Amino acid sequence: MPAVETQTSLKKLVDFLSTQPETAHLTEEQVTADATREELGIGSLAVILLVNNYIQANAPGVMIDPAWVPRLNDVAGIMSVLDEIDQSAS
Amino acid sequence: MTDTTVQGLTDEQVAFFRENGFVGPFDLYDEDEAPLLWNQAKIEMVLSQNKPHNSTIINYDRHLDCNTLSEHVARPEIVNRLRSLIGDDILCWKTNIFQKTPGESGTGWHQVETFVVGDTTTASTPSLKYTEETDYLTQELTVWTAFSPAGRENGCLRFIPGSHKRWYYDESKPLTLDVESKTHDFFGYDYSELKLDQDWDPEQEQIVEMEMKPGQFVIFLAKCIHGSLPNVSDETRLAYASRYVAPSVKVYENVDSLSEFGDTIDLDYHGCVLVSGEDRYGYNRIHERNLNGYEFKKVTP
């Protein structure tokens, strides 16, 4: 992914996490593209809930794809899933 | 109704089960399909609006609120093989998730029949009460399905073949919970406390390591001594156990809650699922639909 797109996706994720009660404490410095989900203290089930909340807020009607689940183990993967959700909605 | 053309067990497989207490593995899902199905189930579990209970420690019975798992427990590939051992009338009474993360230790040997575990099920109030003798091979069976690789390095199941023929443990005795102790390797309990002969070492017995691919399942008697190896791989091992009884067995009679592994759940939600045949006894509450309203499928012999 080009650097500019990565920065845009990262900003989108950081902004979204700041709206969620469980992740509002995370800082921009912590949410880096190479961070893992575990490093951010987000559980494997909690991240699915986060994705669902993102869909409710930004792309109602999009279904969570089971193929996304293994990608939710790191920030890069989560960003790519949110991008895919946005594309599905547009 | 469900397609009943899927074969049951062959005579040789039935004979193998009779001698060893387990049989398999059998193919159910494609190797690539199984992890995706589990992911779908995981999504349903997280987003469920109809959870049977709120415990995150006791992971029982999510076939009652996850449609993917509701479908799984009644798959004809499973049920028709069970019919060869338990007869045509079959209830699914319980399911468990068995997740073993990288580095997690093996599960200690254990042998059960009435499922006395924790504080609320006791010798006088077991999970299962057998009310009559049967002409079939058994009245209780477990199906353990791998949804990830379950080879030796991942922590596969292990059996002591033929051990179902007599008791090596006294399951009616209480167990002490100590999640910090390394000897408490049966989900925080030390099942070796129940050994009838403290000098007997199960590791000296003949052991079968049941390596399985994602999407395969094995059928066994809970009375056949079983356990698992540690997960020394870098991948989480995921399995789903569905447990079945004949309708003559009373499930959770006089048991209103389960206190196990340091948590408690009310059994208000509980009911069995008739996955094959008929219930001529009426001992147990039957769920015809799951908690989402999904109608359970049933094999009609």
Range B192-201, long-range pairs (CB < 8 A, 24+ positions): B192/B108, B192/B109, B194/B169, B194/B170, B195/B168, B195/B169, B196/B167, B196/B168, B196/B169, B196/B170, B197/B168, B200/B168
Collect all residues of chain A within an 8 Å Cβ-Cβ radius of residue B43: 48, 64, 66, 69
State residue B1's pLDDT score.
46
Tell how far CA B204 is from the center of its chain: 25
What are B205-234's pLDDT values in tens digits?
999 999 999 999 999 999 999 999 999 999
- Check residue B179 and give its pLDDT: 67
- Classify residue B71 as exposed, middle or buried by CB count within 10 Å of its CB (0-12, 13-18, 19+): middle
For residue B68, the chain A residue with the least C-alpha distance is A66
Considering Cα of B176, then B182, then B188, then B193, what sign does the dihedral take? negative
* CA torsion through residues B84, B85, B91, B92, sign: negative
Residues on chain B touching A52 (C-beta within 8 angstroms): 46-47
Query: Would you call B176 exposed, middle or buried from its count of C-beta atoms within 10 A (0-12, 13-18, 19+)?
Result: exposed
Domains and CATH numbers, chain A: 3-89 (1.10.1200.10)
Q: What residue ranges of chain B have pLDDT lower than 50?
A: 1-3
Q: Chain B within 8 Å of A45 (Cβ-Cβ)?
A: yes
For B32, nearest residue in chain A (alpha carbons): A67
State the Cα angle at B58 between B207 and B230, rounded to 5°: 30
Q: Are B238 and B39 in contact (CB under 8 A)?
A: no
B39 neighbourhood in chain A, CB within 8 Å: 66-67, 69-70
Q: Mark out chain B residues that contact chain A at CB-CB < 8 A.
A: 35-37, 39-40, 42-43, 45-47
Distance of residue A45 Cα from the nearest chain B Cα, in angstroms: 6
3-state helix, strand, coil in chain A (%, to 5): 60, 0, 40
User: What is the sign, positive or negative, of the torsion defined by CA atoms of B160, B165, B166, B172?
Assistant: positive
- Cβ B37 vs Cβ B63: under 8 Å: no
For residue B266, what are the contacts with CB-CB under 8 A and spacing of at least 6? B53, B256, B257
Beta carbons of A45 and B40 less than 8 Å apart: no
Cβ distance of A66 and B46 shorter than 8 Å: no
The pLDDT of residue A2 is: 64
How far separated are the first and last CA of chain A, in Å rounded?
Answer: 20
Q: Are B156 and B22 in contact (CB under 8 A)?
A: no
Angle between helix A46-58 and helix B33-47 axes, rounded to 10 deg: 70
**Cis amide prior to B25 (ω within 30 degrees):** yes
Write the DSSP string, A2-21. Answer: -HHHHHHHHHHHHHHHTTST
Is residue B240 classed exposed, middle or buried when 0-12, 13-18 and 19+ CB atoms within 10 A define those classes?
buried
Q: What residues of B are in contact with residue A48 (Cβ under 8 Å)? A: 42-43, 46-47
pLDDT of residue B125: 83
Q: What is the pLDDT of residue B183?
A: 66
What is the predicted ipTM? Answer: 0.88
Eight-class DSSP state of B12: H
Residue A69 at interface with chain B, using a CB cutoff of 8 Å: yes
Contact list, A56 vs chain B (CB under 8 Å): none
Do B46 and A49 lie within an 8 Å CB cutoff? yes
The whole-number pLDDT of residue B109 equals 93
A52 in contact with chain B, both atoms CB, cutoff 8 A? yes
Cα gap B146→B235, rounded to integer Å: 13
Residues of B in contact with A49 (CB under 8 A): 46-47
How high is the pLDDT of residue B123? 73
pLDDT digits (tens, 9 = 90+) for A28-75: 888 887 889 999 999 989 999 999 999 999 999 999 999 999 999 999
What single-letter DSSP state applies at residue A23?
T
Average pLDDT over residues A14-32: 89
Chain-centre distance for alpha carbon B113: 11
Task: Report the residue of chain B nearest A64, measured CA to CA.
Answer: B43
